[in-house]
Chains A and B, each alone.
Chain A
Amino acid sequence: MTAASPPVIDLPPAVDPADHARLRRTYEPIRGFYAWLASVDHKSIAKRYIATCLVFFALGGLEAAVIRAQLSRPENGLVGPDTYNQVFTMHGTTMMFLFAVPIMQAMGLYLVPLMVGAKETAFPRLNALGYWVFLIGGVFIYTGFFLNAGADAGWFAYVPLSGPEYSSGKRVDIWAQMITFTEIAALIAALQTIATVLKLRAPGMSLNRMPLFLWAQLVTAFMVIFAMPSVATGSLFLSFDRLVGSQFYNPAEGGDALLWQHLFWFFGHPEVYIIFIPALGFISQIVTTFTRRPVVGYPVMVLALLVTAFMSFGLWVHHMFATTVPQLGSTFFTAASTLIAVPTGVQIFCWIATLWLGRPVWRTPLLFVMGFIAVFTIGGLTGVMVASVPFDLQAHDSYFVVAHLHYVLLGGAVFPLFAAFYYWFPKITGRLMNERLGRWNFWLLFVGVNVTFFPMHRLGLEGMTRRVYTYLESTGWGTLNLVSSVGAVIIVAGMAVFVVNLARSWRGGAVAGANPWDADTLEWATSSPPPPYNFADPIVVTSRSGLWAYGDEIPVLQGLRTDLPQVLVTTVMDAEPVLRHIHPSPTIAPFVMAVIIGAMLIGGIFTPWAYPAGLVAIGVPWLMWAWPRRRSYEHQEELKGTFSLEAPI
């Protein structure tokens, strides 16, 4: 990985340049494989996270390719129903649980500490634990899949189909347990983000000076905290129904199939926004940078994020209109589902206004932003259509909804994510991605997405239902399905260009330097890639415009230890320094704990006793983790003077 690292230039500002060497020793005390396992550096963990998510993205994409190949003509025999059901379940599960949500959080784990100007994330060891748990969960479900035990009840796993009677074997158990794995990881990342954004911001970065990306990540983290427990509870109930014969979802014994749907969608709908809101954060940063001006209407943008997050918890029943919802309820949920378009619409207007007022620089990231506006707007408008109960009862569970959701998720998450890759790739690797290939990537993806998914609107209205492994020739759906499959080939070509670009730029892209785009946020104030300690002296933020506001010098505070990993903790509202927090050193305890949690959860699909046994066993790495370790360090000479923030602001 380090083979082709570019020359490190532009080290972060430090009053005493000798600090760089000291900090490097402190933050990188050991090297080698053990150090890799024990690493608690948020950058290296986030890079692994992103890479893992991209591998799952590729697997999910291959599954989508199988789906499109199978459906390209009527009564196709490429795969049978059993394989097809596993493939489409794995596609949905992978894309939602192993790609979309975690990669948005992983991008946050990399960028949030840098963007707040901190040396580390708030809880580095917890961070490592989250990643390992995620990895084990993802590998676990794919191991099952390759052993012909892939979940086959859909990514939504409706009971009773996913229950003990109708889904035999361990397939659904593996799925339900994978949910638990990814929940743990997602909740850890959320907790991480909340503490980092609220407590580790650079001095002077008061809430109203926070970049919109940080707002987006913060809002998302709170949504994760309230949404994820719902599906975790639901899937635990499901695994108990399947393993020990509890009756949560058994209608014959007073349980209720709709209880699952409520629990699932109370998570499932906010989840869409958990994926989408970080993407809005990407867009805001990229628009700012490439129009060379702040986004118009900062308070409105923040308010829109908050309103979206709040409202997204009042929409879940619109996934259940066909189950018969009482009149009053359906009125409420229709109104909420319709009106959530307002905050999103306002944000799009703000970006358009920013483009209009600024002088756009047409690099690949901004191109992807334009793609986002086009594709996402179509998805949003069909979203308003399906919010209407009478029309939804026609469109629900048809290919119209398949089209809608792919427009929303590809437009609202994948396009912004690609924009973000092109934008932050130089920060992560120190090299720029190729512009020419970037344009090819964009246009192939843009054309491919529209060719693949636009015909599906029509297919849905013509009665093609979701999750069918094939269809009769007499339905007349063959032509549009073929068009759609051709579009999938174009998407694959676009993705291939991306992979080539990634590989080529990784080795031989142009050296980026600290701030290749002349952007305003703090992550660009350190070298690319950043040193293990991110920043030397804490940078003082003087305005919402971040780096753009500085003159010839960057104001910093002095006085953090260099012999110990120490971060500056500030107040929640105004980001005034209050505490010099000493961070933990690298340890293998999180890895060990993740392995034990993995053994507990995997064992839990065979016997309920795995849970108490696992809980006790976790005590061992917990003691490894928390046991005090005497750290020897030379005492530094006291710096004279007191801190004050008033002067520069």
Chain B
Amino acid sequence: MTWLQAAHSALHPASAQADRVGRLYNFLLIVAVLVFVAVMVAALWAAWRRRPIDEDTSPARDARAHRVIFAGAAATVAILFVALVYDLALGRSLTRRATREMLTVRITGHQWWWEVEYEDPTPQNRVRTANELHVPVGQTVALKLASADVIHSFWAPSLGGKKDLIPGHHNELWFTPTEPGLYRMQCAEFCGLQHAYMALEVVVEDSKKFAQWINAQRKPAATPPDTLTARGKLVFESGPCATCHAIAGTSAAGTIGPDLTHIASRRWLASGRLGNTRANLAGWIVDPQRIKPGVLMPSNGLEPADLQALLNYLASLK
């Protein structure tokens, strides 16, 4: 299986908002480079200029220097003022209320994974998933951010700025993706042992594909097609898995860990740590502490036969 490279860079904006911030960045960068060059040229010239032996050292030169300094200060103020006006104007327009037709998604930060819940007026149409966010291209998405434990921060560099997920506070973040593709993000606020491996992938796709995806996600888990898979379901439901994980349409309803109803449809495991392959999944189930030390999932010493059945079952959850 080849893994598509997901974009993960503020230098490759793929949303209306990130694009405008990107332009601001370019402007600031050019200004900064020009100012830096000017200051360095002045400093080096002042330091190592050739000095005539009989140079005038009268106080009149100081007065000239004062004028130059004053001009420099005035130029600094002018440049900063332009930058400030640009900043504030952009800031204002980015925080203005976005379009009415919005897809609203609730993102809850957990140590160390992302809970994703698509809101819908009809309860059956709500979708819960984890560590993967699908959004249609061209439509503004509003993320309602909350935290279940400590402070996390949502930052998809290609799609726009970050917002913190703070327990006791509600924050919102929105963006309008302009290019279909895969965009990676990872938690930006230090949140404990596995802060480094707390990633989420945003899948921006055209509205038809998105509709397909969300409809598939709305369905409960597939029924096991064969006995081995059925045994895997039993392992899941009666073993340690169901203590923390939920699979819609089964008796597993744990809420501590990610919802696994359609785990086989996801590209990643363990919050972007591992590609979703059978071998990775097996390794993760048996010894997650080796892969993400400190993660809240315990080691599971399943009998080999049980493990194979479980893997079959999880692979069937498309």
With A342-B73, A377-B39, A378-B36 known as contacts, the answer to whether A85 contacts B80 (CB < 8 A) is: no
What are the interface flags for A315-348 relative to B under an 8 Å C-beta threshold, 1 for contact and 0 otherwise? 0000000111001001100110011011001101
CB nearest neighbor in A for B196? A468
Q: Is the CB of A471 within 8 A of B196?
A: yes
In A51-71, the 8 Å CB interface with B consists of: none
- State in angstroms the CA–CA spacing of A568 and B94 once bound together: 61
Q: A463 and B62: CB pair below 8 A? A: no
Q: Which of A113-121, A232-240, A381-389 contacts B (4 or more CB under 8 A)?
A: A381-389
**Do A463 and B193 contact each other (CB < 8 Å), given the known contacts A335-B84, A353-B68, A393-B161?**
no
Contacts of B138 in A (CB 8 A): none
A154 surroundings in chain B (CB, below 8 A): 190
Task: Please state if B196 and A81 are interface contacts (CB–CB under 8 Å).
Answer: yes
Neighbour of A341 across the interface among B24, B80, B185, CB < 8 A: B80
Contact A462-B157, Cβ < 8 Å, known A161-B191, A359-B51, A385-B28: yes
Contact indicator A470/B3 (Cβ below 8 Å): no
Contact indicator A161/B8 (Cβ below 8 Å): no
- Do B87 and A397 touch across chains, with their CB atoms under 8 A apart? no
Asked if A226 is an interface residue, CB under 8 A from chain B, the answer is no
The answer to whether A360 and B47 touch across the interface, beta carbons within 8 angstroms, is yes
Whether the Cβ atoms of A353 and B153 lie closer than 8 Å is no
CA A263 to CA B35, docked complex, whole Å: 34
Interface string of B198-240 (1 = CB under 8 A from A): 0000000000000000000000000000000000000000000
User: Which listed residue, A373, A390, A393, touches B39 by the CB 8 Å rule?
Assistant: A373
A262 at the interface (CB under 8 A from B): no
- Looking at B100-108, B166-174, B298-306, the stretch in contact with chain A turns out to be B166-174
A461 to chain B: closest residue by CB: B10
Most buried by B among A166, A349, A476: A349
CA distance A334 to B89 in the complex (A): 12
Interface bracket on B? 35 or more
Are B193 and A331 within 8 A (Cβ)?
Answer: no
Query: How far, in angstroms, from A476 to B62 measured CA to CA in the complex?
Result: 53
The reply to whether B163 and A322 contact each other, CB–CB distance below 8 Å, is yes
Which of A158, A349, A463 interacts with B69 by CB under 8 Å?
A349
Q: Kindly supply a per-residue 1/0 record for chain B positions 142-184, scoring 1 wherever the CB is within 8 Å of any chain A CB and 0 otherwise.
A: 0000000111010101001111101111011000000000001
| Contact (Cβ within 8 A) A166 B149 | yes
Size of the chain A interface, CB-CB below 8 angstroms: 78
| A258-B166, A355-B47, A391-B21 known; A345-B72 Cβ under 8 A | yes
| Chain A positions within 8 Å of B72 at CB level | 345-346, 349
Partner-contacting stretch, out of A13-21, A249-257, A524-532: A249-257
Q: Is the CB of A388 within 8 A of B87?
A: yes
Q: Which A residue's beta carbon lies closest to that of B167?
A: A251
Known contacts: A161-B191, A346-B76. The answer to whether A384 contacts B149 by CB under 8 A is no
Please pick, from B51, B111, B166, B188, the residue contacting A323 in the complex, using a CB distance under 8 A: B166
Q: What residues on B are CB-neighbors of A467 within 8 Å?
A: 190, 195
- Interface 0/1 of A566-610, CB less than 8 Å to B: 000000000000000000000000000000000000000000000
Q: Are B3 and A474 in contact (CB under 8 A)?
A: yes
- Please indicate which of the listed interface residues B10, B11, B83, B169 has the most CB atoms of chain A within 10 Å of its own CB: B10
Distance between Cα atoms of A360 and B91 in the complex (Å) = 45
CB-contacts of B103-119 with A (<8 A): 111
Distance in angstroms between the alpha carbons of A182 and B128 in the assembled complex: 48
A residues in contact with B172, CB < 8 Å: 324
**Distance in angstroms between the alpha carbons of A581 and B272 in the assembled complex:** 69
CB-based contact B73/A338 at 8 Å:
no
> Counting CB contacts under 8 A, is B318 at the interface?
no
* A394 vs B17: C-alpha distance when bound (angstroms): 11
Given A80-B293, A353-B46: A323 touches B5 (CB 8 Å cut-off): no
B157 to chain A, nearest CB (A): 4
Would you call A158 and B192 a contact (CB within 8 A)? Answer: no
Query: Bound state CA distance, A414 and B195, in angstroms?
Result: 30
A352 and B191 within 8 A (CB)? no
Q: In this assembly, does B66 line the interface, its C-beta being within 8 Å of a C-beta of chain A?
A: yes
Q: Is A297 an interface residue (CB 8 A)?
A: yes
**Interface residue from B3, B24, B43 paired with A355 (Cβ < 8 Å):** B43
Interchain CB contact under 8 A, A390 and B94? yes
Cβ of B129 within 8 Å of any chain A Cβ, yes or no, is no
Identity of the chain A residue whose Cβ is nearest the Cβ of B75 in the assembled complex: A345
Contact A352 B9 (CB under 8 A): no
* Proximity bits, A429-472, B CB within 8 Å = 1, else 0: 00000000000000000000000000000000111011111111
List B residues at the A interface (Cβ < 8 Å): 3, 5, 8-11, 18, 20-21, 24-25, 28-29, 32, 35-36, 39-40, 42-43, 45-47, 49, 51, 57, 61-62, 65-66, 68-69, 72-73, 76-77, 80, 83-84, 86-88, 90-92, 94-95, 111, 149-151, 153, 155, 157, 160-164, 166-169, 171-172, 184-197, 272-273, 293-294
